[in-house]
Structure 1
Amino acid sequence: MRGRRTKTPAVALTDLGPLAQLKAGRLGRRIPQLIAGLVLYGFSLALMVRGALGLAPWDVLHYGLTLHLPITIGQAIIAMSFVVLLLWIPLREKPGVGTVANAIVVGLAADATLAVLGPVDGLIVRIALLVAGVVLNGFATALYIGSQLGRGPRDGLMTGLSRVTGRSLRLVRTALEVAVVIAGMLLGGVAGAGTILYALAIGPLAQAMLPWVIVDLDPPAAL
Structure 2
Amino acid sequence: MQKKFNVLPKTSWSASSIWALESKPFGVLVISLAILGIGEGLILLSDLGSAPWTVLSQGVSIQGGFSVGWASFMISCLVMLLWLPLKLRVGLGTLLNILVIALFLGLTAAFMPKPTALLSRYLYLIVGILLFGIGSAFYLTCHQGAGPRDGLMVGLCQRFRLKVGMVRTTMEVSVCVLGFLLGGKLGIGTLLFAISIGWVVQGTLLLLLNWPHSLHKRNRLY
- TM-score, normalised to structure 1, is 0.69
Query: Is 1:209–2:204 an aligned residue pair?
Result: yes
Kindly state the Cα deviation for residue 85 of structure 1 after the two structures are TM-superposed: 1.8
Structure 2: which 5+ residue stretches go unaligned? Answer: 1-7, 216-222
Equivalent in the alignment of 1:91:
86
CA contact (8 A) 1:40 1:140 kept: yes
Q: 1:81 to 1:156 in 2, by over 3 A?
A: same
- The match for 1:50 among 45, 58, 81 is 45
- The match for 2:9 among 12, 18, 21 is 12
**Which residue type is aligned with residue 194 of structure 1?**
G
Q: Give the share of equivalent positions with the same residue, in percent.
A: 35
Cα deviation per residue 1:138-194 (whole Å; 9 max; x = unaligned)? 221122123222233212213334555x47345543442222112322344333332
Matches within 5 A, 1:47-196: 47-64=42-59, 69-70=66-67, 80-117=75-112, 119-162=114-157, 166=160, 168-169=162-163, 171-196=166-191
CA contact (8 A) 1:78 1:103 kept: no
CA RMSD in angstroms comes to 3.5
Question: Matched residues in 2 for 1:182 and 1:132: separation?
Answer: 24
* Number of corresponding residues: 199
Structure 1: which 5+ residue stretches go unaligned? Answer: 1-10, 218-223
Question: Matched residues in 2 for 1:100 and 1:31: separation?
Answer: 12
Question: Matched residues in 2 for 1:116 and 1:70: separation?
Answer: 25
Larger CA Rg, structure 1 vs 2? 1
Question: Matched residues in 2 for 1:69 and 1:131: separation?
Answer: 32
CA contact (8 A) 1:38 1:144 kept: yes
SS at match of 1:21: coil
- Greater shift after overlay, 124-133 or 57-66? 57-66
Question: Matched residues in 2 for 1:12 and 1:32: separation?
Answer: 18
